[in-house]
Structures are given as structure tokens and as C-alpha cells.
Amino acid sequence: MTLRTRFAPSPTGPLHLGHAYSAMLAHDMARAAGGAFLLRLDDIDQSRSRPHWAAQIETDLAWLGLTWDGPVLRQSDRLPCYRAALDALWDRGLLYPCRCTRRDIEAAVSAPQEGAPLHGPDGLIYPGTCRPEHPPRGPMPRDMALRLDMSRAAKAADLPTSPLTYAETGVAPPPPPLSPEHYRHGIGDVALARRDLGASYHLSVVCDDADQGISHVIRGADLAPATAIHVLLQRLLDLPTPIYHHHRLIRDETGRRLAKRDEARAIATFRTEGHSPADIRAMVGLTKLLPLARNTLGG
Ligand code: GLU
């Protein structure tokens, strides 16, 4: 199989050492295998994405010595594809509109009789306030949040007889059995469309990885818990499941994961301070390339 991977940052701030590690790892793995490395801008959240950050991403990656194949894919150009995927799920009765705000959800799950609030890959597990007893009929609403009804989705994906699996070659623990219970109780009814965005990260990443023919998703271990959602959507939408390689996270000296606000560790800052791309590789511990295998390349 030709290795085809991607780096998919959101242009909402400067790239930092953690992004550099992710991009260099994916790039190096693709190049070592004679495969392809693609660049995609996760700019679906237009309220937070900025053209100057998008331009800066390309400048930073080029300075690091990375090259990408083909044109840069922008999620903001792909809303019709996400809409088509939502339509397909809606027509199968797997989505329902949701009017809850974050505050409504917090209030519902912190009611005394609910016990300790449960968290899934998307934060608080949705308590099901808007979930209808029967799948909604009629055309899909265009301007509302849409949630995936996990009980119906698990059944539609045939999980009771054919549980989901995927290959993990990075540092994330091997996936647990992806059973209907895991989806219902460990993940809950995730939002696949937001009122303001049209599509959520989970839906767009699945559509994009499939349309770009991604064979290996190489990304940070913070996204490992969301992979179960992606694999379920792939089965529901009849899309291939790539191999997942979740890598270790780059942390600051206090052990905290780097964030966009960490300007001090921004690639552009290191560049203006006179550091070289080789320095950046040394800082993240990515100096030599090992063959693709579990727990190699420093994860
Ligand atoms: N845009 C996501 C991020 O910056 C990455 C998505 C992915 O690699 O699946 O965290």
C-alpha cells in the first residue's frame, strides 16, 4: 500500500513545536516510504480561522524543509461534501436536531440525580435531552445542530454482530472493543453539524481523509479517543478506514501540552531568534528516521 498521509492544522494561531513535530513526522514517514504528504487546512470554523495564519502555516512548513503534494485542501471549500454526508445519515434516520446550548447540557448533567458527569472525546457526554423517540421525518433542517443517535447508529453499522476495529501503530493504546455500549455510554450522541458551522470536525475529517485517499492518519495522541467516532462514521458512510498512528505530544517543562497561545514556542519565534530547522528537529527529538512500526519514530 502506498503511504499517503496529511497534516491538517487549523489556521487559528501560530504553529508551535507540537505542530512541527506532527508535520515533520507525517512528512518523513511519507517520504521514507516513497508516499505522499498532503496539507489540509481545517478552516471550517470561519469565526476563528484567519488567512494570515493559513499563509503563516505554509511559510513555517516550507522553512522547516517540508514539501507537500498537490494543492492545499481547504475545508471551507468543501461544505457541499459534508452536507451530502449529513443528508445520507439523515435519510437513514440516524440524526436528530438539537437545540441545547453548552450551558443546557452542563445543567442537565449536573442535576443531583445524575451522579458525576461523564466525559467522552467531545467533553461532556450528551444527556439526550433532544433525542426523539422516533427518527425525525421530512427534510433535514439546515440551520440547527444535528446529533448522531448512537443507539441507532450502532445498530445501523451492524456493531452487535460485527464490532469495529482499526489498526493503531503509534503510542495510543490498542483500541478497546468498539461495542455499542462503548458508543452509547463512553461517547454518546456527538454533534455532526453545528448551527453556525454546518459540519463538525468529526464529520469533516472523515470525509476529507476518504476523499484525499489517506492511508495513514498521523496525528497527536490527544485525538486517539475521537478515532472511535471516525471509524463508526466510516462504516456508516461506506468509507475506508485508514491506519491510525497517534504520536506522543510535545509538552512544556511543566508537562503541559503546548497550545496555540504558547507564542514563545511558535516556529516563527524560533526562526526570528536565529534557530535552524535542524534545531527544531532536535528540540522535538526527531533527528533520525526509523522504519514504520509500532512505537517507532519516538511515537
Ligand atoms: N485540525 C486538527 C488539529 O489541529 C487535526 C485534525 C486531525 O489530524 O485529524 O488538532
Q: Provide, rounded to the nearest whole percent, the portion of the chain with pLDDT above 70.
A: 94
Q: What is the mean pLDDT of residues 177-193?
A: 93
Tens-digit pLDDT profile for residues 77-120: 999 999 999 999 999 999 999 999 999 999 998 877 767 778 99
The CA 9 to ligand 1 mean position distance, Å, reads 6
pLDDT of residue 288: 65
pLDDT at 290 over 70: no
Atom of ligand 1 nearest to the CA of 42: 1
Q: Does 219 contact ligand 1 (Cβ within 6 A)?
A: yes
> From CA 225, how far away is CA 70, in angstroms rounded?
30
Q: What is the pLDDT of residues 195-248, one digit of tens each?
A: 888 899 999 999 999 999 999 999 999 999 999 999 999 999 999 999 999 999
Query: For position 198, what pLDDT does the model report?
Result: 85
Ligand 1 atom closest to the CA of 230, numbered from 1: 9
Model pLDDT, residue 289: 57
Average pLDDT, integer, range 262-280: 90
pLDDT of residue 293: 43
Ligand 1 site, residue 186, Cβ cutoff 6 A: no
Q: What is the pLDDT of residue 183?
A: 94
**Per-residue pLDDT, 298:** 44
The ligand 1 atom nearest the CA atom of 19? 4
Same fold, 4-77+207-296 and 79-193: no
Residue 90's nearest CA partner among 135, 133, 131 is: 135
Q: In this model, does residue 143 exceed pLDDT 90?
A: no
- Indicate whether residue 98 lines ligand 1 (CB < 6 A): no
Domain boundaries, given as residue ranges, for the chain: 4-77+207-296, 79-193
Over residues 146-164, mean pLDDT: 94
In which region does residue 295 sit, left (phi positive, over 0), alpha (psi from -120 to 50) or beta (all else)? left
Computed over every residue of the chain, the mean pLDDT equals 91
Residue of minimum CA distance from atom 4 in ligand 1: 9
8 Å CB contact between 146 and 98: yes
Which pLDDT value is given to residue 5? 98
CB 209 within 8 A of CB 223: no
Please compute Rg for the chain using Cα positions: 20
Give the pLDDT score at 261. Answer: 66
What is 53-117 written as a DSSP string?
HHHHHHHHHHHTT----SPPEEGGG-HHHHHHHHHHHHHTT-EEEE---HHHHHHHHTSGGG-SP
Polymer length of the chain: 299
The CA 137 to ligand 1 mean position distance, Å, reads: 33
Give, using CA atoms, the residue closest to atom 1 of ligand 1: 9
Q: How confident is the model at residue 296 (pLDDT cuts 50, 70, 90)?
A: very low
Per-residue model confidence (pLDDT) at position 1: 67
CATH second-level architecture of 79-193? Alpha-Beta Complex (3.90)
Residue nearest to atom 6 of ligand 1 (CA): 8
**CATH superfamily placement of domain 4-77+207-296:** HUPs (3.40.50.620)
- pLDDT tens-place string over residues 12-52: 999 999 999 999 999 999 999 999 999 999 999 989 999 99
- Residue 240 alpha carbon to ligand 1 centre in Å: 19
Given a cut of 80, is residue 171 above it in pLDDT? yes
Q: What is the pTM of this model?
A: 0.93
Residue of 57, 208, 219, 250 with the most ligand 1 atoms within 8 Å of its CB, for mutation:
219
Answer whether residue 269 shows pLDDT above 80: yes
From the CB of 209, is ligand 1 less than 6 Å away?
no
